[in-house]
Chains A and B, each alone.
Chain A
């Protein structure tokens, strides 16, 4: 397995663990599909909880998410969030 794949898996797992926690669910994170809506019938991540979650993600993954994440970015699915975090991981800051 490549380093990039490892990193993808690490981010994917951390994001899913946190969205499950934020939604106060007791399902295994691996059961969450990549295209699961962040705020839908299963996951219930609201804007406020989302912000705190981003900061926890930074702590867990030891990354700094970009400042311009704020402007005009809308997150619909788990994969959207994973993608943004991966870009933050890949781009040296």
Chain B
């Protein structure tokens, strides 16, 4: 089957401003090494708009793409929608989520760059599963450090990754210095990532591979929005609002930014509202600050300009592990700062309830993360959202399936789901020392 999309589309040339540069510590000296395949760097910084999808990646995409798009009439009826609701479904692949769209691309580029083994950290396991699948596709070894508590709660994620050939370590693993020395941050994604970075650094032919949020990752995810736009055109459907959930932002960026690019390029008359939906437990876009912050709590990566509730903020456990990230991707953060992205926050009970209604009506079980997007879509489509109105229709990305999240739905049915709004005082403390973007650089970084 031919794909309707043969190239990824970057929004960078349509922004009209540069993203604030990342900051890194100046304290270390010594040899420098490239930490990323050059093509991924080019994709992150270049003003080139269209990037041909390499044929080996396209060949893998053809296994599950085009991903379905449909008008969710039964869901519309269930929520009494005033406008059409179109769904773009990204759960129909072995990883069960959109993350495989970039995992395949990244694995391809790492392989081409001569890497033999890719190492990563994963929270709930979606990213680890996607990367394991991508490594299987391209003949790479894959090592995954998964948050130990998540691995115990979701053992089938580990099973799937192992089935795909990956080696899975519960973090803290005892294999790394950072794991042995940070008992206080056990059971966090930050520590799992820290372990993966250290493990990758110490082996020849290994590379650490990060998940969502980087510009190149959002570029690869543009296949979602480009494909959706073509599918909507094909059925003469009109939408004015594009909605997706935000952990770091790759599925939202993927579905939404191509619509902005289309408008800026003069291909469409109207600019749709791009509505990012986050969890009330991690409300970076609605209650965070635009500041330089670490991408993880161990300070492994650079400091990036992001909307953040603070990398030191203790995020409570929730059923939407994919949204448990303190910051938004730097690209989306800059666009939010420039007023190009709207945002709203949804509690997990409302999200799971939306997921239940969607399953009942459309017979597709969404991941709890996607339930957030569906709850927001329902609020917009019914007019319940006073801030975001739709006159013609909404497009919502259901980024993954919820078949490995049934315990969350069990708890919903049993009336045991608690909402977890972020604590104002804790957010204030976690962001107090962050340097707002645009102010003088903090000492010790450049």
Contact = CB atoms under 8 A, between A and B. Distances in A.
Contacts, number: 90
B16 interface: no
17 contacts: A24-B446, A39-B30, A40-B30, A41-B29, A45-B32, A46-B25, A46-B28, A52-B45, A54-B38, A55-B38, A55-B42, A70-B36, A70-B113, A70-B115, A71-B114, A73-B34, A75-B31
Contacts of B24: 46-49
Given A69-B38, A71-B114, A55 B46 contact: yes
Contacts of B110: 70
B38 A65 contact: yes
Interface string B414-441: 0000000000000000000000000000
A4 to B, nearest CB: 25
Contacts of B205: 71-72
B35 A47 contact: yes
A46 B24 CA distance: 8
Given A24-B446, A68-B114, A71-B205, A52 B41 contact: yes
Contacts of A50: 32, 34
Nearest to B207: A70
B31 A38 contact: yes
A61 interface: no
Interface in B17-49: 22, 24-26, 28-39, 41-42, 45-46
Contacts of B207: 70
Interface residues of A, number: 29
A55 B45 contact: yes
Contacts of B112: 67-68
Majority secondary structure of chain B interface residues (helix, strand, loop or mixed): loop
Contacts of B29: 37, 39-41, 44
Greatest chain B CB density within 10 A among A37, A49, A70, A71 is at A70
Interface string A52-69: 101100100000010111
B32 A72 contact: no
Given A48-B24, A52-B45, A55-B45, A69 B34 contact: yes
B204 interface: yes
B34 A54 contact: yes
A70 B302 contact: no
Nearest to A80: B31
Given A39-B30, A45-B32, 5 more contacts: A46-B26, A51-B38, A54-B38, A55-B45, A70-B37
A51 B28 CA distance: 17
A67 B38 contact: yes
A26 to B, nearest CB: 15
B41 A72 contact: no
Contact of B31 (A39, A54, A65): A39
Greatest chain B CB density within 10 A among A24, A55, A69, A71 is at A71
A27 interface: no
A74 B22 contact: no
B114 A67 contact: yes
A30 interface: no
Contacts of B446: 24, 44, 46
Contacts of A68: 112-114
A55 B36 CA distance: 12
Contact of B32 (A38, A58, A69): A38
B35 A51 contact: yes
Contacts of A51: 34-36, 38, 41
Contact of B34 (A38, A40, A70, A76): A70
A73 B115 CA distance: 12
Q: Which 7 A-B pairs have the closest CB atoms?
A: A71-B114, A70-B113, A68-B114, A76-B31, A51-B41, A74-B31, A50-B32
A40 B32 CA distance: 10
